[in-house]
């Protein structure tokens, strides 16, 4: 009789364990692939970079057509008769795509920029004067260096 009781309790334990395991599997959410999680995490930034480089290429093509470095044959359908208009369309599309690609990069910084306490008028103007004075002094210094070095090299080399 005690053997039957022991077997019964072991089987009850097994049943309880199986039920617990089945309940856990029912309540458990299906696991997502880690690869897909990584891809979804990086995909927007990858697409933004693709858009950015495509926009740079489109802008370059538009600029090359506008400057005349790249010619469109007049026999080309539609754009052959209006290459400048086509170039400006490329420039506008490229510019808008650059803005679209860069916008998400700067989006998290907007709340931080709003927290900045900006300088008042007099102090801001004083800083601007100091910066431009510094720039003018260094530009003059480099101009003098260039002048003296050029003069010395001309005298030495004859």
Q: Which residues of 33-70 are buried (b: 16+ CB within 10 A; e: fewer)?
A: eeeeeeeeeeeeeeebeeebeebeebbebbeebbeeee
Give the tens place of pLDDT for each residue, 114-155. 888 888 989 999 999 999 999 999 999 999 999 999 999 888
- The answer to whether 52 and 98 have CB atoms below 8 angstroms apart is yes
Give the tens place of pLDDT for each residue, 19-44. 777 776 666 665 666 666 655 665 66
Q: What is the pLDDT of residue 26?
A: 65
């Amino acid at each position: 009789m005690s053997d039957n009781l022991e077997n019964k309790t072991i089987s009850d334990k097994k049943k309880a364990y199986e039920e617990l395991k089945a309940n856990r599997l029912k309540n458990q959410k299906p696991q997502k692939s880690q690869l897909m999680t990584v891809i979804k995490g990086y995909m927007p930034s990858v697409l933004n970079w693709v858009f950015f480089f495509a926009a740079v290429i489109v802008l370059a093509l538009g600029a090359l057509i506008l400057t005349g470095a790249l010619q469109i044959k007049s026999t080309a359908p539609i754009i052959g008769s209006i290459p400048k208009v086509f170039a400006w369309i490329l420039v506008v599309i490229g510019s808008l795509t650059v803005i679209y690609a860069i916008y998400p990069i700067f989006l998290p910084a907007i709340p931080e920029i709003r927290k900045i306490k900006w300088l008042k008028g007099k102090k801001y103007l004083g800083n601007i004067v100091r910066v431009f004075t510094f720039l003018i002094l260094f530009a003059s210094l480099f101009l003098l260096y260039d002048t003296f070095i050029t003069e010395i090299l001309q005298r030495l080399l004859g």
